[in-house]
Every structure is written in C-alpha cells, then in structure tokens.
Amino acid sequence: MDIPEEIKKFCIRELGELQSFRSASGGCINNGGRLETHSGHVFLKWNSATRFPDMFTKEAKGLRLMQGPQCITVPQVIATYEGEQHSCLILEFLESSVPVKTYWEDLAIGLAGIHKMSADHYGLDHSNYMGSLVQDNAYHKNWIDFFIRCRLQPQLKLAVDHGKMQNDHIRLFEKLFQQLDVLLVTEPPALIHGDLWNGNIMTDNAGKPALIDPAVAYAHREMDLALMQLFGKPPLSFYQAYNETYPLVPDWEGRMDLYNLYALLVHVNLFGGGYLIQCMQIVKHYVS
C-alpha cells in the first residue's frame, strides 16, 4: 500500500525524513499502519477528505477528551491534516503486548474514570462519526429525547431511504419509543467512548488497556457497557471492578439490548444482512 503523495508531503513537513511504512490490517474505512521516521515511529491513517470531511479532526478531539481524566492509555495526537483529496491522522504508536494480570480490572477502572467526566447536557459541541456514518450530537437536556432523536431516528431514516427497512419496522420502533421513559433509567451525562467494541480496545506497550477510535459524546454510560457485550462479553472481574469504582444502577443488564439497538442499526446501514433480524427481535420483545 502506497501513502498518497499529498499525505507523504505533509508527513515529511511534520516528522522529517520518512524511512518505511508497514500497513496494518483490519481497517474497514481507513488505510493505515506503522510509519518509521528518522525520529521514531508513529501510527498513520488516512482516507478521503471529500467522503469523510473532518473525520480525523473530530477523532482527535475525541481522543483528547478521553485523555482528560488521565485514567487509561489513549494514544497521543501528533498531527491532523485536511487536504483537497485526502485527510490523515498521525498518532503515538502503541506497541501491543501481553496483557497484565489485572488487565480487565484496569480497563474497568479506567473506563469508569472516563464515565465520571460529565456535562450539563447530552451531546457534544460537534457532530462526529460512528464508523463511516455521521453521528449527530445536538445538545439535549433529556436523555430519552437524545437517544431517540440523535441515535435511533437518524439511523432509521437512513435505513428507510436506502431500502433496508420498511414502514412496518418503523411503526414498531415508534411504539417502542413511547415506552422508553419506563424501560430506561436516566443518569447525568457521562463522557462515553461511543464505539467500544473489542476491536477498539487494545494493550499498550506495558500490557495495560488502551482505547482507540472513539465516537465520543456525553451520553449514558450503559451504552459503552452494552456495546462491549455485543460481540463478546468481558469477564466477571471487569464488572466487579467497574461497579466498585462507579456503581451501576440496578437492573442495568436488562437494558443492554435496548442500548445496542443503536449499534445494530448502524450495522444494518453499513452491512445489512442479519443485523436487521437482530434489531427486530429486540424491538418485538417489548412491542407487538
């Protein structure tokens, strides 16, 4: 994989002479990998500036927000670039290593520390991205309103517009919306990672947990915990340590499926397939 000339010139201005580049696997949206320079190595990723405007500028803001409480490893932002054709993000390179014995407990304590960061509203002062999809973060005082208007409804509209959902599906969701005041529990706004599946959790150079690729907002912390369970559940020690650090509201486990509707709808729009079936199974559990 070749680094686009536009990005290469920016990297030389920022970092000096470039020595080698080794691409990383697993990126669905961005190209990226380890970039060796005369002064050390960094992680470089890039994509289309026209398809995903300001994506990396917003990711950098999210990373810096998560660094605020200094409770878990988050890669340092070195530079961002928005060009005519391409944009890029240069980050501290985290060398993945063998997890320490207290990895899950450390992750729980670190995540709880981020969740303790609060605001007087739900949302954020800018939109950002969930995967390749724009995520609306318009300010709301009411959590249920934010969850419906800024998380579920935009994804439903996108799915209908692209023929991935029918009006019958929407009517069931609208029935569910009428029950969310009872089904969900409101808490003060919490800074959340926002895209906390296992691919965005890694180890740092010392084997401690590290968080990457956020889609931050001030929202409900149970959204992070829900997404952590969608593609594989952490061990009991994680939940014990989290609950000791920042006690959860009783019956939080019963709300995980409802919060995962957002991530599942995103997957419907990105990938289609069986994710719609999964969504509707959850909805039909509560409405008929």
Has residue 101 got a pLDDT over 80? yes
- Model confidence pLDDT, tens digit, residues 120-165: 999 999 999 999 999 999 999 999 999 999 999 999 999 999 999 9
Query: Distances in Å between the alpha carbon of 139 and those of 25, 121, 132, 146, 150?
Result: 36, 6, 22, 8, 9
Output the six-digit token pair for 237: 């020690």
Has residue 28 got a pLDDT over 70? no
What is the per-residue pLDDT for 136?
Answer: 98
59-68, 124-133, 269-278: which range is least confident on average? 269-278
List the alpha helices (DSSP H) in the chain: 5-15, 55-67, 103-115, 143-146, 153-161, 167-177, 180-183, 222-230, 236-245, 256-271, 275-286
**Selection from 20-29, 190-199, 266-275 with the highest mean pLDDT:** 190-199
CATH number assigned to the domain covering 5-92: 3.30.200.20
pTM for the complete prediction?
A: 0.95
- Model confidence pLDDT, tens digit, residues 83-94: 999 999 999 999
Asked if 204 is an active-site residue, the reply is no
CA dihedral 119, 123, 126, 130 (to 10 degrees): 130
Q: How far apart are CA 96 and CA 211, in angstroms?
A: 12
Contact (Cβ atoms closer than 8 angstroms) between residue 222 and residue 186: no
Q: Which residues in the chain are classed under CATH 3.90.1200.10?
A: 103-286
Considering the four listed CATH numbers 3.90.1200.10, 3.40.50.300, 3.20.20.450, 1.10.1040.10, the one that applies to the domain covering 103-286 is 3.90.1200.10
In the set 195, 204, 224, 257, the catalytic residue is 195
Nearest to 180 by CA among 277, 286, 288: 286
Q: Which residues in the chain are classed under CATH 3.30.200.20?
A: 5-92
- Residues 250-268: what's their mean pLDDT? 98
3-7, 202-206, 228-232, 272-276: which range is least confident on average? 272-276
Nearest to 228 by CA among 218, 217, 242: 242
Has residue 279 got a pLDDT over 80? yes
